Structure 1
Amino acid sequence: MSDDAGAEPRGAGAADRLFETRRAKLEQIEASQGTAYPARPPRTHSASDAVARVDDEPPPDVDVAGRLVGLRRMGGTSFAQLRDGSGEIQLFLNQQSLGKVAYRHALEVLDVGDFVSAGGPLFRTRTEEPSVRVERLQVAAKALRPLPAKWHGLHDPEIRFRQRYLDILANDEIRRRFEARTAVVSALRRVLDDHEFLEVETPTLQPVYGGGAAEPFVTSYAALNRDYYLRIADELYLKRLLVAGYERVYEMCKNFRNEGIDSSHCPEFTMLECYQAFAHLGDMRELAQELAAAAAEAACGTTRVQFDDQVLDFTPPWPRLTYRDALLASAGVDLESDGSDSALHDAAKANDIPVDPAWPRPKLLDELMKTLVEPTLVQPTFLERYPTETAPLAKRCPDDPRYIERFEVFVNGMEMANAYTELNDPLEQRARMEEQASARYGEDATPVDEDFLLALEHGMPPAGGLGIGVDRLVMALAGVTNIREVILFPQLRDRS
Structure 2
Amino acid sequence: MQVRQDKLTQWRHEGQAYPNHFRRDALAGDLHGRYGDMGAPALEQEPILARLGGRLMTRRVMGKASFADIQDQSGRIQLFVSRDNLGEEAYARFKALDFGDIIGVEGSLFRTKTGELSLKVHSLQLLSKALRPLPEKWHGLSDAETRFRQRYVDLIVTESARRTFQIRAETVAALREGLRQRGFFEAETPMMHVIPGGATARPFMTHHHALDMTLYLRIAPELYLKRLVVGGIEQVFEINRNFRNEGVSTRHNPEFTMLEWYQAYADYRDAMDLTETLIRAAAEASLGTTLIQYQGQEIDLGKAFVRMSVAESVRAYNPDLADADLRDPQVLADKLAQLRMPCEASWGWGKRLIEIFEKTVEGNLQQPTFITEYPLEVSPLARRNDLDEEVTDRFELMIAGRELANGFSELNDPEDQAARFRAQVEAKDAGDEEAMFYDADYIRALEYGMPPTAGVGLGIDRLVMLLADQPSIREVILFPHLRPE
> CA separation in 2, counterparts of 1:296 and 1:236?
29
Select 1:181's aligned residue among 165, 168, 173: 168
TM-superposed deviation, 1:159: 1.3
Q: Do the aligned residues in 2 keep the contact of 1:207 with 1:228 (CA within 8 Å)? A: yes
User: What's 1:242 paired with?
Assistant: 229
- How big is the shift at 1:390? 1.0
Deviation at 1:189, TM superposition (A): 0.8
Structure 1 stretch displaced more, 166-175 or 230-239: 166-175
Q: Is the 8 A contact 2:58 2:68 kept in 1?
A: yes
Quote the residue 2:466 is aligned against. 476
Alignment of 1:39-188 (within 5 A): 39-50=20-31, 52=35, 55=43, 57-108=45-96, 110-149=97-136, 153-155=138-140, 156-188=143-175
Given the superposition, is the C-alpha separation of residues 326 and 63 from structure 1 closer, same or farther in structure 2, using an over 3 Å criterion? closer
Bigger drift between 238-247 and 113-122 goes to 113-122
The secondary structure found in structure 2 opposite 1:396 is coil
Change in 2 beyond 3 A, CA 1:324/1:132: closer
Report the alpha carbon displacement of residue 343 of structure 1 after superposing the two structures with TM: 3.0
Unmatched 5+ stretches in structure 2: none
Query: What is the rounded CA distance, in whole Å, between the counterparts of 1:468 and 1:433 in structure 2?
Result: 24
Deviation at 1:337, TM superposition (A): 3.2
Q: Say yes or no: does 1:444 pair with 2:434.
A: yes
Deviates more, 1:136-145 or 1:48-57: 48-57
SS at match of 1:135: strand
Whole-angstrom CA distance in 1 between matches of 2:274 and 2:396: 13
The number of residues matched between the two structures is 473
Equivalent position amino acid for 2:187 in 1: V
Cα distance, 1:144–1:248 mapped onto 2, change above 3 Å: same
- Note the alpha carbon deviations across 1:323-378, whole angstroms, 9 max, x for none: 12223344545898353443322211112224555667665443322111101111
Shift of 1:281: 1.2
Give, in angstroms, the shift of residue 441 of structure 1. Answer: 6.5
- Cα distance change on mapping 1:476 and 1:105 into 2, 3 Å: closer
Counterpart Cα distance in 1 of 2:7 and 2:250:
43
Q: Is the 8 A contact 2:351 2:377 kept in 1?
A: no
Q: Give the aligned partner of residue 392 of structure 1.
A: 380
Give the alignment's TM-score, normalised by structure 2.
0.92
Q: In structure 2, what residue type is equivalent to 1:399?
A: L
SS of the aligned residue for 1:192 comes to helix
SS in 2 for 1:349: helix
- Amino acid across the alignment from 1:237: Y
Report the alpha carbon displacement of residue 318 of structure 1 after superposing the two structures with TM: 1.1
**Residue 200 (structure 2) aligns with:** 213
Counterpart AA for 1:478 = A
Is it true that 1:27 corresponds to 2:17 in the alignment?
no
Matched, 1:378 2:366: yes
Name the CA shift for 1:368/1:64 in 2 (closer, same or farther; >3 Å): same
In 1, the alpha carbon distance for the partners of 2:399 and 2:431 equals 29
Q: Structure 2: how far apart are the matches of 1:303 and 1:413?
A: 18
Please tell me whether the aligned partners of residues 154 and 171 of structure 1 are also in contact (alpha carbons under 8 angstroms). no
Paired AA for residue 22 in structure 1? R
| SS of aligned partner of 1:444 | coil
- Deviations 1:83-108, CA, capped at 9 Å, x for gaps: 22233222222222211122223323
> In the superposition, relative to structure 1, how do residues 70 and 322 fare at CA in structure 2: closer, same or farther (>3 Å)?
same
Q: Deviations over 1:461-493 (max 9, x none)?
A: 111111111111111122222111111111112
Which structure 2 residues correspond to residues 261-340 of structure 1 after superposition, within 5 A? 261-331=248-318, 332=320, 337=325, 339-340=327-328
Partner SS, residue 45 of structure 1 = coil
Q: CA deviation at 1:188?
A: 0.7
Q: Contact 1:207–1:227 (CA<8 Å) still a contact in 2?
A: yes
What amino acid is the match of 2:82? N
Deviations 1:299-340 (Å, cap 9, x if unpaired)? 221112112332211125211111122233445458983534
2:453 counterpart letter in structure 1: A
CA distance in 2, matches of 1:402, 1:348: 21
Q: 1:62 to 1:182 in 2, by over 3 A?
A: closer
Distance in 2 separating the partners of 1:36 and 1:394: 61
Which residue pairs with 1:9 in the alignment? none
C-alpha displacement of 1:58: 3.3
Q: Structure 1 residues 335 and 400 mapped into 2: Cα distance closer, same or farther (>3 Å)? A: farther
Choose 96-105 or 19-28, whichever is displaced more: 96-105
Q: Which amino acid aligns with 1:86?
A: S
Unaligned 5+ residue runs, structure 1?
1-18
Report the equivalent of 1:15: none
* Post-superposition offset of 1:211: 0.9
SS in 1 for 2:80: strand
Instruction: Give the residue type in structure 2 aligned to 1:319.
Output: V
Q: Which amino acid aligns with 2:269?
A: G
| Residue in 2 that maps onto 1:36 | 17
